[in-house]
Chain A
Amino acid sequence: MIFIFTALVPEAEPLIQEFSLKRTGGGSAFQQFANEEQGMLLTITGTGPVRAAAAVGAVLGKVSPDEVTLVLNFGSCAAVHGGMPEGGETPLYLIQKLTNMESGRQWYPDLLTGSCLPEAELLTGSRLYTGDEMREDRGIPALSHVLLYDMEGAAFFEAANLFVGPHRIHVLKFVTDSGDTGRVTPDTVRRAAEAALPRAAEYLRLVMGEDCCGKYAMKSFTANGEEAERMTAVKISSDADAPLDEDALARGLCASRMMRAQLHQLILYADLAGLKWRGRVRQWTEKGVYPAKDRRTGKQLLAELKGMVQGVQCDDKRR
């Protein structure tokens, strides 16, 4: 699932329209909009770091980390150094570094995609930006190209990182002002969000398409270097309607808890390595020793399977 957090309704509205999100009920302290088909939930947090962190905790605290594909903070910000719109275009920045101005702590999203979005650093404070936040003693970090300011980003990231890794947390910001907040209205924010939306949507497509959960696709190796065949569930003649999987095998071996744990690792490896363990079970069935009549027999069969999977030959002896 994709979890999007915005501080303000005008920031959220273009997203709600773009992704056909519908208002949810559910009694949350925060306004939420969802599209179950797309696996997307948008939460409007309200302004300020406390609200942002609370919203993230409230939402991500209810789901398993495995359910979280991506967490995104999308919203407006002020330009501190560089970053102001030029030629009428509202730039959308991918945030590479976030600083909580109160605590001084810094946060770094994992920037793993080949995105073409310009990058910027983000300072997060608890007050509206007026320019006073950047007093002489703070200064501009030596390598800053673009430095932005908002009231939620760092808190959002810190809270989200309690639940998911930095490769799943993304912060996109568009500039609305440089401290002259009197000129910022809901309308200007909405228009800026609409202008930034196509690039934000493209970024999301890029991130999702590149499978930010990327695990290695396993090629099982054999002596001749060819990819081994993978066998999925195979029906056994004695039980034609039930495919053989780990659970079925454990039952057939009268497996104890410890045997099950051992079996799990054996089958996991055997499937990855393309070993034809189900053929061995078929042989047992033909010999009439499977399903095992008792746990003792089950242990013997398990030991035989273990030897086959581990590649230990019957005549191997430790010298």
Chain B
Amino acid sequence: MGGEYGTEANEEHRASMHGGKFRHIYVESRVLGLERTERMLARFPEAEVIEIRHYKDIFNRRRQDPAVQHKSQNLIIAAKEGRLVYPGAPVCQSFGNAHFFYTSCVMNCVFDCEYCYLKGMYPSGNLVIFVNLEDIFKEIRGLLSQFPVYLCVSYDTDLMAVEGLTGYVEEWARFVRDNPGLSIEVRTKSPRLCTEAIREAAPEDGRVIYALTLSPDEVIHSCEHGTGTLEGRLRAAQSFMDAGFPVRLCFDPMIYMPGWEEVYGRMIRRASEMIDFSRVRDFSVGSFRISETYLKPMRRVLPRAAVVQYPFELTGGYYHYPAALADRMELFMEYEIRLRAEDAEIFRWEE
């Protein structure tokens, strides 16, 4: 299963999962027999396939424990309904784009980062894949008829991590190519390299942005379970760069730990050894922050995770590190980036 999700790190975590991922796959009746559904089911011939009426019958059950479920994650295949494209969240970076949106063709993530807001936002740790991409595309075309759109397609998930299962990054790339005015960001922690299929599907004008979240190995090992190592992610970034994609490096979220300067300094030194920073499209820098609404449930499901039990400060509905510390961390990172790329475009999240 490691190859399926392009992960190298956290072998111990993957091995501890009960019997591996997707031993049970729940499929809505209305998507049974569809090509995307069948293609995904074919990847798991040993799975128990259970027919359901609606994905919320599984995803929204009472008193679930997302942390426990994540250790033995199941898959739900469904059709998305209602509003399919949403305005970008204030806590997220818009990179200067006026019309910033996001969409979720996959809910939840195969990775298991302890600080991830999904643990507070979703009642379940199971993965939901929506197969009605065409409905999402239709809604986006409606927006595009009014203004250009900057769309984040890998927010509530990691699309590259499941590309082998879904092929959605390729489909998105093709959709962008066919729709001028649309730019997308594909955010990931996966070490999965750029594929020929993705490269051929994407437009050549840089409207598909590959955004890699970088963390020190100490943070990856401690709390980004199942994700790629720093080196693995950097190799992936290089592969996308070589394929002609604009690459964004995201040092966000930065996680505090005693000795963080040394840790992050080591990380950025390694990153700049493997990646030519002058070729990076832009950088995103931000210390950890999270909506007040999400932190309480996260602390409940992860009572022993230091990263979410940190004594944050609360401002305007968001928990964050003390302002002085957050500034210090972000300015440190900004300085380190500029040391290596004087003219780098760096985006910091501002309230």
Interface residues, chain A, CB within 8 Å of chain B? 65, 96-97, 106, 108, 110-114, 119, 121, 141-144, 161-167, 210, 212-225, 262, 265-266, 268-269, 272-273, 275, 306, 309-313, 316-319
Nearest-CB distance from A234 to chain B (Å)? 19
CB of B62 within 8 A of CB of A161, answer yes
Contacts A106-B52, A108-B57, A215-B67 given; indicate if A319 touches B327 (C-beta within 8 A): yes
B221 at the interface (CB under 8 A from A): yes
Q: How far is the CA of A318 from the CA of B61 in the complex (A)?
A: 44
CB of B257 within 8 A of CB of A317, answer no
CB of A216 within 8 A of CB of B304, answer yes
Q: Give the 7 A-B CB pairs with smallest separation, nearest first.
A: A223-B259, A114-B19, A316-B324, A165-B63, A272-B306, A112-B72, A218-B304
CB of B324 within 8 A of CB of A312, answer yes
Per-position 1/0 for B219-233, Cβ under 8 A of A:
101110000000000
Nearest-CB distance from A222 to chain B (Å)? 6
Contacts A108-B26, A217-B304, A310-B321 given; indicate if A316 touches B328 (C-beta within 8 A): yes
- Specify which chain A residues have a CB less than 8 angstroms from the CB of B331 in the assembled complex: 319
Per-position 1/0 for B285-329, Cβ under 8 A of A:
000000000000000011111100111000000000111110110
CB of A112 within 8 A of CB of B57, answer no
Contacts A112-B18, A166-B64 given; indicate if A225 touches B50 (C-beta within 8 A): no
Q: How far is the CA of A167 from the CA of B126 in the complex (A)?
A: 12
Q: How far is the CA of A28 from the CA of B258 in the complex (A)?
A: 56
B94 at the interface (CB under 8 A from A): no
Interface residues, chain B, CB within 8 Å of chain A? 18-19, 23-24, 26-27, 29, 32, 48-53, 57-58, 61-65, 67-69, 71-72, 74, 114, 217-219, 221-223, 256-260, 262-263, 301-306, 309-311, 321-325, 327-328, 331
CB of A210 within 8 A of CB of B18, answer yes
CB of A114 within 8 A of CB of B259, answer no
Binding site secondary structure of chain A: loop
Nearest-CB distance from B77 to chain A (Å)? 12
CB of B68 within 8 A of CB of A167, answer yes
Q: How far is the CA of A224 from the CA of B323 in the complex (A)?
A: 25
Nearest-CB distance from A286 to chain B (Å)? 23
CB of A215 within 8 A of CB of B304, answer yes
Q: Which of A112, A214, A262 contacts B311 (CB 8 A)?
A: A262
Q: Which residue of A is nearest B225, CB measured?
A: A216
Q: Which residue of A is nearest B16, CB measured?
A: A214
Q: How far is the CA of A273 from the CA of B259 in the complex (A)?
A: 12
- Specify which chain A residues have a CB less than 8 angstroms from the CB of B32 in the assembled complex: 142-143
CB of B217 within 8 A of CB of A225, answer yes
CB of B24 within 8 A of CB of A167, answer no
Nearest-CB distance from B208 to chain A (Å)? 34
Contacts A223-B258, A265-B311, A309-B311 given; indicate if A214 touches B67 (C-beta within 8 A): yes
Contacts A111-B23, A141-B51, A223-B262 given; indicate if A272 touches B327 (C-beta within 8 A): no
